[in-house]
Amino acid sequence: MSSEIIQTLEALLSLGISFVCVRLSKYRYQENEKYAVKYENNAKMLIIRWIITEIFKWGSIVMLIGIIIKELSIFLALYILIPLLIALHMIFFNSDYLKGVMTFTKGIYYVGLTIISIIQVFLTTANVAELALGFTLSLAIFESVTALDDGYKNMKKSK
């Protein structure tokens, strides 16, 4: 019974964040339209931006469907794909609004993981190695992507 509660909470957290990412595709399309007006002579960049938008949208949809039909491992979705999706949104769509939404989403993600972990420990269903590995993976993904982004921006600034 208690493991079903944990799995349900993990699935709800993954589904919620995936749904937010799908809903944000509308905002990304609006940003792409503004970008197209601003950089109308740079077709290559516009195409790349559109492709990234589509990949994020369809990746989120596939993740939603995979979780719903139970073909995608909750561990994979929760500890690897969700942090990757959030971190990449923060890099590729660098508007103040989207950065704020993704930072807020990242906070909700960590609060959700904390609640799930506390429940697992109190219900003694915790596989401590899995919890530790999951937290380490998600933190490593967030930090490495952020470090790569910061490094790229600093190199670009120094030119």
pLDDT of 12-56, one tens digit each?
A: 888 888 888 788 888 888 887 887 787 777 778 788 888 888 888
21 within 8 A of 89, measured Cβ to Cβ: yes
**Angle between helix 82-92 and 2-38 (nearest 10):** 20
Per cent of the chain over pLDDT 90 is 0
Q: What is the pLDDT of residue 122?
A: 76
Name 56's Cβ contacts closer than 8 Å, sequence gap at least 6: 21, 25, 28, 85, 88, 89, 92
Domain count, the chain: 1
Tokens of 28: 């990304």
Name 82's Cβ contacts closer than 8 Å, sequence gap at least 6: 13, 14, 17, 18, 109, 138
Statement: residue 103 has pLDDT above 80: yes
CA quadruple 137, 117, 128, 84: dihedral, nearest 10: -10
pLDDT band at 2 (very low <50, low <70, confident <90, very high): low
Tens digits of residue pLDDT in 78-89: 888 888 888 888
Q: What is the pLDDT of residue 125?
A: 60
Domain span holding position 139: 2-158
